[in-house]
Chain A
Amino acid sequence: MSALLEARNIGKRFGGVQALKDVSLTIASGEIYGLIGPNGAGKTTFFNVLTGLYPRDAGEVLFQGTPLKLGNPSAVAAAGVARTFQNIRLFANMTALENVMVGRYVRTRSGVIGAVLRTRRTREEETAIQRRAEELLHYVGIPHRANDLARNLSYGDQRRLEIARALATEPKLLALDEPAAGMNATETAELRKLIVGLRDDGLTVLLIEHDVKLVMGLCDRVAVLDYGEKIVEDVPEVVQRHPQVIEAYLGTGHG
């Protein structure tokens, strides 16, 4: 498998805190890649740098061999990286369908002139946007909530909606930031099915997760961050037995 994303020596500092130090990792095309680590290890910071939300202090990210324009989130999305959020950030006052339709923005092009003149191309594009958004709601399993405001959806459905919205941008890499946080066992099992389905449909998934069992059971490869540094990057079986990981992440009582 070829490398889809290659992060090279990423560094990020917040004041006196070195949140990320020299982090390099490679995500292969078509795999589910897990990123774990204790609270404050820098997982979400890495996500935020990767998706262009935070400017990085050092390093670069190659995506399909080309450097990502870090610091320009919409360019990163256009390149094919989409994400969800640890604390859900939907457009709460828009319907579920509209949330997903916003995700189509980057893959469509109609302007205001076409909209005002109701040109044929604009109308066709609008229909296509809506159809695709409906398909995606169906795909994540919430087609019946299409016309409900996002804020009225249940927690689990909101998580699904975030994934649908991210998928609408047609990513090659889908980055999920603690998608199972706050989910009960049933919801987690369904989420797991969904993620496997995404991979089977050709998507590469980057997963940040606290639920170690989920990560170890689901991911093809796992990297562990601690104090902003990568300790190990390998298949789950190796990672689980790595002494530094046990010490740093699983803590005492597992040794």
Chain B
Amino acid sequence: METLLQQIINGIVLGAVYALVALGYTMVYGILGLINFAHGEVVMVGAMVTLAVIKLLAGTGLPLVVQLLIGLAVSIPACMALGAGIERVAYRPLRNAPRLAPLITAIGVSIILQYLVVLVWGRTYHPYPELLPTTPFDLAGARISPAQVAIIFFSALVMAGLLWLVHHTRLGRAMRATAENPVVARLMGVNVNHVVTMTFAIGSALGAVAGVLVSINYSVAHYQMGFILGLKAFTAAVLGGIGNLGGAMVGGLLLGLIEALGSGYVGDLTGGLFGSNYRDVFAFLVLIVVLIFRPSGLLGERVAERA
């Protein structure tokens, strides 16, 4: 019972981060029908830039939480610019190309970003400072740290902000209109290129936050962290129904829970044959199952061809 509660808590923490990253995939897909496989690397860059800023601030004696906030204040705009820049340089020239071209380009951008980070920060695993207190406290027999509480809280806050932005602002309306029909949106005066740029920028901002949170959770960051995280978040987006914001949130949370519970129990269930080191398998099992049985995802609708 305690394991169950513990794994549920771990799963929610993990799922909150997956959901944040998944939103970046799903927003871009909703607007452009493009899978931005470089998004995982933007998440990684967010973690790295924040770490670099915190290292610079190390001697100042500022409280760690303040250092974290300053780090985010630098890395969020940096990632927004990075995401928007990737779109401008790598995807926009291919807007009308066959779908395979931007997909391959995305993989190329991923590799470029990874090795740019290697050039600057090297291949080593960077220990992430304890920015938030990690001494766990007891919650009905399970243990949860203030850092984990903060991760859940912060993710929820950012997601609520996104939903508000999409539903109650001029830009959000333009985004939804563009997602429904970009041609008509342009005819009604919406500057679609600006909407696309802002979609990448906002998705990347969420990614930067996610990168920092996941690094805090695992106390480590390195240049390849975006790869598996990105794939899992993509899985979460597909699970929820890609293109659907609520779907990305639900999908992320579910995937986090599946992964935590799966890795928590797989050892017992298989008599020790498989251990929790098989945790990554669960996400991709989910992906396969979803693609076979419900390719449109949990909240997704069958997508009609655009006129």
Contacts and interface: CB of A to CB of B under 8 A. Distances in A.
Interface string A86-123: 01010111100010011111111011100110000010
A26 to B, nearest CB: 23
B170 A129 contact: yes
Contacts of B183: 53, 73
Q: For the complex, would chain B's binding face be called helix, strand, loop or mixed by DSSP majority?
A: helix
Interface in A227-253: none
A105 B198 CA distance: 15
B170 A166 contact: no
Contacts of B169: 110, 112, 115, 122, 126
Nearest to A78: B189
A82 interface: yes
Interface string B172-204: 111011001101111111111000001001100
A116 B180 contact: no
A165 B201 CA distance: 28
Q: Which residue among A73, A105, A129 has the maximum number of chain B CB atoms within 10 Å of its CB?
A: A105
B188 A110 contact: no
Contact of B173 (A85, A98, A106, A112): A98
B165 interface: yes
A102 B188 contact: yes
A146 to B, nearest CB: 14
Nearest to B171: A112
Interface residue range, chain B:
20 to 34
Given A89-B307, A91-B177, A105-B173, A83 B187 contact: yes
B33 to A, nearest CB: 16
A104 B174 CA distance: 10
12 contacts: A76-B187, A77-B188, A87-B307, A91-B176, A91-B184, A93-B176, A98-B173, A105-B170, A112-B165, A112-B198, A115-B172, A125-B170
Interface of B: 161, 165, 168-174, 176-177, 180-181, 183-192, 198, 201-202, 307
Interface of A: 51-53, 73-74, 76-78, 82-83, 85, 87, 89, 91-94, 98, 101-108, 110-112, 115-116, 122, 125-126, 129, 165-166, 169
Given A91-B176, A91-B181, 17 more contacts: A53-B183, A74-B189, A77-B188, A87-B307, A89-B184, A92-B180, A93-B176, A94-B176, A101-B173, A102-B174, A102-B188, A105-B189, A111-B171, A112-B169, A112-B201, A112-B202, A126-B168
The 5 nearest A-B residue pairs measured at CB = A106-B189, A77-B189, A73-B186, A115-B169, A102-B177
